[in-house]
Amino acid sequence: MDIYRIKGGKKLSGEVEISGAKNAALPIIVACMLADGESVLRNVPDLMDIRTIIKVLEFLGAEIDFNKEKKIVRIQVNKIKNGEVPYELVKTMRASVYVMGPLLARTGEAYVSLPGGCAIGERPVDIHLSGFEAMGAEITLEHGYIKATAAALKGTSIIMRKISVGATANLMMAAALAKGKTILENCALEPDIVDLGNFLIKMGAVISGLGTDRIEIEGVSKLNPVNYTIIPDRIEAGTFLIAGAITRGNITLKNVIPAHIKSLTETLGQIGFDIKEDKNSVHLGECRKLKGAMIRTLPFPGFPTDLQAPVMSLMTSIPGISVVIETIFENRFTHIPELRRMGADITIENNIAVINGGQKLSSAPVMMSDLRAGAALIIAALGAKGTTEIRRIYHSDRGYEKLSEKLSGLGADIVRVKGGNP
């Protein structure tokens, strides 16, 4: 397995281009199955999860060409050959469940293995399934697979029991070709959902309420293939801002939508960092007197749970007490034992972490447990004394495109070592 070897203490400076949003690209790629013909997607990041979902669609019968240098994916759909998605294709990624909506809408059946992904707590698919049942599908679970069948999906009113980005996306895709009007309530407000909705509208879907907790979809009989550009990745943007902050650097993010990371830039400003925004860029500059802060993870537009672990690494370097309250996932503190190995003073009680910051971390061998915990360890290593070796870096490959190259371009001393110790 590859490892990262990072020598800390290098101040980051310069410009970095933010890639397309993984969490928008995944459902949009899947949504191409809703229309026959060729759709062309631009600004698609080259990530492990993207390659996995492409394999899933190819298994279902799509012909796909991914130009990784130009970040363009061409998806040709003529006929959906399979309604089954096997475990081997989905064991590493939860987003594979997205194919259920398009498969039910187009073919009336889906047979999908229960998905895998990061071990960060409960992310139930029952919200997806209860929505499909409300639209007329019959759902059974057998041998680790979800079997769904429907003669024809029908529009209805669905109140999701909790906010779910995945369920909002899946039910939107299914409803786009259902008969009649579907009203989804308690919807996710994330930019990724808005991007998917805009993509579906460009295909010919009739959707209103994007960006609110109530979305209405009037089903149509046919959708058309289109050209579309994916939005920038707000989590990648936030990760680089935090990396710049822990090194007390001076960096500029290009190809970013500032409104999408407002909760983070406001937090960094409260801590004492100078943040300047332009239309498509964000600059992190000289810091003032730094002080601790408190964050509570919340659905968008609140502080994203995907940046909770990275910002905690930053907080270890900030003098005083900082507090992190995790409200989205019940098992998202797996990075804390590894940070403690590097000298972090962090205490946990239930879903609350208290960070006694201001001490410089020191290098230690550490191990990624999931995608965003991995980002936290990379950030910690950038600010630590000495050289840190990070194992299981395949987790970061799922969500960060050319991460070591981009960090090196900002001045980080980071090397990816092929075949390092696991």
**Percent of the chain, pLDDT > 90?**
84
Please give the sequence-ordered ranges of beta strands (E in DSSP) within 33-144, or none if there are none. Answer: 37-42, 63-67, 72-77, 84-85, 109-113, 138-142
8 A C-beta contact, residue 393 and residue 370: no
Single-letter amino acid code for the residue at 315 = M
Q: Model confidence over 155-173: pLDDT tens digits?
A: 999 999 999 999 999 999 9
Q: What is the CATH number of domain 3-19+232-417?
A: 3.65.10.10
Enumerate the domain spans of the chain.
3-19+232-417, 22-229
Q: How far is 18 from 361, CA to CA, in rounded Å?
A: 27
Band the pLDDT of 145: cuts 50, 70, 90: confident
Q: Which residues are catalytic?
A: 118
Kindly calculate the radius of gyration of the chain based on its CA atoms and give it in whole angstroms. Answer: 21
Amino acid at 94: R
**Cα angle for residues 313, 316, 321 (degrees, 5° grid):** 130
Whole-angstrom Cα distance, residue 34 to residue 225?
Answer: 8
Residue position matching structure tokens 């209860």 = 130
pLDDT > 80? residue 420: no
Domains 3-19+232-417 and 22-229 share a fold: yes
For 239-261, how does the pLDDT look when each residue is reduced to its tens digit (9 = 90+)?
999 999 999 999 999 999 999 99
With a pLDDT cut of 70, the percent of the chain lying above it is: 95
Q: How many CB atoms lie within 10 A of CB 102?
A: 27
How many CB atoms neighbour CB 148 within 10 A?
A: 23
In a 13 Å sphere around the CA of 404, the CA atoms on its Cβ side amount to 17
- Which of the listed CATH numbers 3.65.10.10, 3.40.50.720, 3.20.20.80, 3.40.50.11780 matches domain 22-229? 3.65.10.10
